[in-house]
A and B are shown apart, each in its own frame.
Chain A
Amino acid sequence: MNKKIFTTVIVLQVILSEQIISQTISIKDAWARPASKGRNSAVYFTIINNNISPDTLLKASSDIAEKTEIHETFKRENNMMGMRAVKFVSINPKSELKFKPGGFHIMLIGLKKNLAEKDTLILKLKFKHTKDAILKVPVNENMPKN
């Protein structure tokens, strides 16, 4: 009996910690960096593709910024870092893809208002096969610890 309750609690925790957008794709651990009005912020999360076929993140959008783009940070020689826009990101079947500091991120360009810690923003992700994901993203200076 106790084991049954324990299993139910675990399942509920998993459901609550992930923003499930379909039976095949889920997004977890979304967070954004603080930034002031007119500047840029970055959003990070993990995409989980539970399907047996790949999917593609095509676009991101948010009313909080003038423009929203998918970006990637890259490393060059002599410890130099840069950033570039990418047109899409593929997610392999049965795999996780992390958008994280120093890697892929969603770039919020030209913020319409300040984003401080404990604020939240709404982000929409458009996939090739899965229906759009709408995320409520908390603002933190550090990656939230789970």
Chain B
Amino acid sequence: MFNLKLNQNFIFVLLLLTALIILASCSKKFPVIEDFSKEKFSLLNQDSSNIFFPESFKGKIIVAGYIFTNCPDICPLTTNNMRLIQEKLKKENIQNVQFVSISFDPIEDRPSILKDYTKVRNLDLSNWQFLTGEKKIIDSLIKKAGIVVIPSDSTLLDGRRKIYYYVHTDRIQLFDKEGKVRKNYPGSKINVDEIVNDIKELK
């Protein structure tokens, strides 16, 4: 009887130690880069529905990309890489992952523009939202995310419409289920297998 209780205590301590070791190695591999867990950035998605970022996605791992829709080269690479990550996760039946693409050009990228962007690329929006919002809020969000955006060249079209381009951080970001940024990747050149393995470990 005494031996049985001793064995039970030993197993409990062993399990506790194992859990602590796993937790420690995870936080070492995925240190908290930025804490969004108490943030509720009020944004609009491609359907003009209100989203609180990252509050609305709490309990899910978030893969976030930062884009502007007038960007023809780097941002489509980032978007396409997110599509590849989404497809791989689906293939491996890994659920509870939310994708978000946040525009840092909110004056140009209204919800309808974001909707067109998703339609022409035939994107699967079942777990992917494209977000925009008031410039002040977007500026505050991208600053916290460590995204630098600098206006650069522009093109004046015949209809007097001016298109602006930006020098910007090329990034995809991995958030844990609590809304903490755990890892940054180069958005246009991300290794899809690397982030998928990271997601499996973070889950």
- Chain A positions within 8 Å of B, measured between CB atoms, are 33-42, 66-67, 69, 71, 73, 76, 78-85, 101-102, 105, 107-110, 114-117, 141-142
Contacts and interface: CB of A to CB of B under 8 A. Distances in A.
Given A82-B167, A117-B122, A69 B73 contact: no
A111 to B, nearest CB: 10
A140 to B, nearest CB: 10
**What DSSP secondary structure best describes chain B's contact surface?**
mixed
A101 B122 contact: no
B188 A101 contact: yes
B145 to A, nearest CB: 13
Interface residues of B, number: 37
A73 B74 contact: yes
A83, A110, A115: which has the most chain B beta carbons within 10 Å? A83
Nearest to B116: A36
B186 interface: yes
Interface of B: 69-74, 76-77, 80, 83, 113, 116-117, 119-122, 148, 150, 152-153, 155, 157-159, 161, 163, 165-171, 186, 188-189
Given A40-B163, A82-B152, A102 B157 contact: no
B166 A82 contact: yes
Nearest 9 A/B pairs, CB to CB = A82-B167, A36-B116, A42-B72, A40-B72, A36-B120, A81-B170, A81-B74, A66-B157, A110-B157
A115 B120 contact: yes
